[in-house]
Structure 1
């Protein structure tokens, strides 16, 4: 099948028009039940995470990679549980955020990207610091609805029990 422009790409091989951002937020919980949050330079607090690379990288692999790159904490992909998919729209772009959970006994998170995050802090889930980055708030609210976290609306699909 060819297109009207002489292009030999078919619907199965032609890339779709980009209309979404695809990322993962990682809830890292230590042996005391605390979660890891980073203070972004813009003043919000956020989970470790970032974009899923368009290199056939799985969401779990992206979560482990982002955690290692941002905090120095090294966990195997097999230690990551992807528990939800969230969808909202920002500026006309679909934002798909995957929620992932990693449990570690303990760990000292390093500031590896000081131009983005000034500090990492272990926080009690029931007493989170100030303003949260919207995707992090959405993921935390799905992970622990009992916390009553205020966040912008998002559709979510549970994938596994967190």
Structure 2
């Protein structure tokens, strides 16, 4: 084939084999500085969040949707700041967790998925309950490295300036 010709052979006609999980964890911070954590039925504490839908949903839209679905708290997509990407590997699968932050008033979070979360609690960042769900611990450690949160090894890439951190 000549260097200036364009191939007409189809490319990428099949989806790639899944090799990554893509999710978002949301640091929800009240005006007084406390953050929202949920008690999962398995005993860990976690940030609101979940998988990013395989649609044209943005990460910020997924964060707002997951927050609404899990807690009943409604925030605009524009109010969400994506501040980092966290990457680790679990069972041979790349796990990409986007770290989001949103500031809210003193709203009451509802338990909307009782089969998953038994309670939501506003918590001082320097008095976190444990154990923390690993992706939540990784996100919180990027958000507030000064807290010295123990977590499994992970790589992170800062995306936004630290304006969402105290």
Q: By how many angstroms is 1:15 displaced?
A: 1.9
User: Equivalents in 1 of 2:88, 2:57: separation in Å?
Assistant: 22
* Structure 2 residue 68 is the aligned partner of structure 1 residue 79: no
Superposition RMSD in Å: 0.9
Aligned to 2:20: 20
Aligned to 1:132: 132
User: Equivalents in 2 of 1:35, 1:140: separation in Å?
Assistant: 10
Q: By how many angstroms is 1:53 displaced?
A: 0.2
User: Equivalents in 1 of 2:130, 2:144: separation in Å?
Assistant: 17
Q: By how many angstroms is 1:63 displaced?
A: 0.1
Aligned to 1:5: none
User: Equivalents in 1 of 2:137, 2:47: separation in Å?
Assistant: 9
Q: By how many angstroms is 1:17 displaced?
A: 1.5
- Please list the CA deviations of residues 84-115 of structure 1 after superposition, one character each: whole Å capped at 9, or x if unmatched: 00100000000000000000021100000000
Structure 2 runs not aligned, ≥5 long: 1-7
Structure 1 runs not aligned, ≥5 long: 3-8
Aligned to 1:64: 64
User: Equivalents in 2 of 1:14, 1:99: separation in Å?
Assistant: 30
Q: By how many angstroms is 1:14 displaced?
A: 3.4
Aligned to 1:10: 11
Aligned to 1:142: 142
Structure 1 runs of 4+ with >4 Å offset:
none
Q: By how many angstroms is 1:49 displaced?
A: 0.1
* Structure 2 residue 101 is the aligned partner of structure 1 residue 101: yes
Bigger-Rg structure (1/2): 2
Aligned residues, how many?
Answer: 155
Aligned to 1:42: 42
Q: Give the alignment's TM-score, normalised by structure 1.
A: 0.93
